[in-house]
């Protein structure tokens, strides 16, 4: 079975929350764009983004196991090792050191998708059309806005990938606009 199809099946098996599924689609879109930028494998990076929170609902009560259970599931399902490892390491509470470019990208960038959703939702029409990089950056500097988003981790894109948060915001916004129908934004 094609890996993307298999990923979607697993998502439907393990996840119910529609917003979480949208977050996964947004992360897939972002990871594909980042792969393009770094001349890496778009398919592999996209799948890593798409599947990274597969254990979210299984680990609701045990957040310390988030990403570990996910990696186990993917291992059992025969996913490529590079995807399994990127998923395992993306949860920063474990203090795993992301080593490959794929691991570094998923680790530091995925939360930008949620941040952009939060920015869109405070716009009058709740649309990505109203979101600009400038608006994202202004909100990024406002600690009380979308408190749950860990700015420090996102900022690691600078040392880990050599791109600024502003560049990441731009790439992420464009990636999300490409699938806006699926995101409902």
Phi/psi at 110 (nearest 5 deg)? -60, -30
Q: CB count, 10 Å around CB of 90?
A: 28
Residue 110 within binding range of Fe ion, rule CB under 5 A: yes
Q: Which is nearer to Fe ion, 103 or 110 (CB)?
A: 110
Give the Cα-Cα-Cα angle 105, 57, 59 (nearest 5 degrees).
80
If the CB atoms of residues 39 and 148 are measured against Fe ion, the closer one turns out to be 148
Residues 8-37 that bind Fe ion (CB under 5 A): none
Q: Does 53 bind Fe ion (CB under 5 A)?
A: yes
Smallest gap from Cβ 124 to Fe ion, in A, equals: 27
Residue nearest to Fe ion (CB): 53
Shortest Å, Cβ 90 to Fe ion: 7
| Residue for token pair 């869109």 | 120
Size of site (CB under 5 A) for Fe ion: 2
Reading the block at residue 18, the tokens are 């529609």
Q: How far is CA 3 from CA 10, 48, 62, 74, 166, in A?
A: 10, 11, 28, 11, 32
List of residues contacting Fe ion (CB under 5 A) = 53, 110
């Amino acid at each position: 079975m094609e890996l993307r199809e298999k990923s979607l099946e697993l998502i439907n098996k393990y996840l119910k929350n529609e917003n979480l599924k949208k977050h996964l689609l947004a992360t897939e879109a972002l990871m594909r764009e980042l792969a393009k930028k770094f001349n890496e494998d778009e398919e592999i990076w996209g799948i890593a983004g798409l599947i990274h929170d597969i254990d979210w609902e299984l680990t609701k009560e045990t957040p310390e196991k988030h990403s570990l259970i996910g990696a186990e599931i993917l291992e059992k399902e025969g996913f490529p090792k590079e995807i399994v490892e990127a998923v395992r390491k993306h949860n920063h509470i474990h203090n795993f050191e992301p080593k490959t470019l794929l691991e570094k990208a998923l680790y530091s960038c995925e939360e930008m998708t949620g941040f952009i959703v939060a920015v869109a939702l405070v716009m009058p029409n709740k649309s990505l059309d109203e979101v600009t990089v400038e608006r994202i950056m202004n909100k990024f500097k406002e600690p009380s806005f979308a408190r749950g988003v860990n700015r420090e981790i996102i900022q690691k894109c600078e040392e880990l990938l050599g791109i600024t948060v502003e560049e990441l915001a731009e790439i992420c916004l464009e990636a999300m606009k490409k699938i806006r129908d699926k995101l409902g934004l």
